[in-house]
Amino acid sequence: MTNKYKYFVANWKMYGNKKSVNSLKKVIKFSKMSKFKTAKIVYCPPYTILGDFIKKFKNTNIKVGAQDCHFIDGEGPYTGFVSSKMIKQIGSQYVIIGHSEQRKSGDTDIKINKKILSSINNNLNVIFCIGENLKQKKKNLTKKILSYQIKKGLNKVKNFNKIFVAYEPVWSIGSGKIQSEKELFKNIESIRLILKNIKNRHQFKILYGGSVNDKNINLLSKIKNIDGFLIGGASQKPNKFIDIIKKSYI
């Protein structure tokens, strides 16, 4: 680990409802345990229950974020979208940008860059997702793809303190497959080197995502250059999410 804290970001994707808020009691109680007080927990639920999560976590150390935003700062004729300013005004502190599912839906690197700039302008912490797909991996293009995504996504960014880089190999998401310890360590080191060339001496926080669960967290936790995890399906069940955090401290 390169930072003092371990970060655990729960990406609920398109799951959850108002009843789901009741399940958060276990995590709130767990977060107060002194043994795990260095764990930085962030929940990113759908927009429809974002406000409910913010109210539930009031007066706790748990933070809340959105899963995406529009690249326009304020308001505009964009049906179905939510701006970073709106997300900040409701009480969110984080936002996920560049997730592979959004990239697949049409997010280009240029659009992602605009979203990042807008989010930072509105004082949000950005969880910036990058990652190669299976075809790129097989052609040994991983480092090239990661470099391209990082440089394009962070173009014109000045406040790097707000940037969390989440490495999510596209081929791993939802598949249950993860890289070997050696391969993952190597890829994280490549990311750090790319980031160093962009902003030397800045200590970037790098998370790993991609089929993170309570079964493989022991292996992932051995990789010391990872600062935390972006967790999908497993984060929706309090017991599994808590188990992941616990095992990260062993």
Instruction: Give the containing element (helix H, strand E) for 95.
Output: strand 94-97
Q: According to the 3-state scheme, what is the secondary structure of 83-146?
A: EHHHHHHHCCCEEEECCHHHHHCCCCHHHHHHHHHHHHHCCCEEEEEECCCHHHHHCCCHHHHH
From 52, 71, 53, select the one nearest 10 (Cα to Cα). Answer: 53
d(CA 180, CA 165): 20
Neighbour tally for 66: CB within 10 Å: 24
**Residue of 70, 101, 132, 168 marked active site:** 168
3 state DSSP class of 7: strand
From 158, 238, 207, 198, select the one nearest 5 (Cα to Cα). Answer: 207
**Residue of 70, 99, 101, 132 marked active site:** 99
168 a catalytic residue: yes
189 a catalytic residue: no
Which residues are catalytically annotated? 99, 168
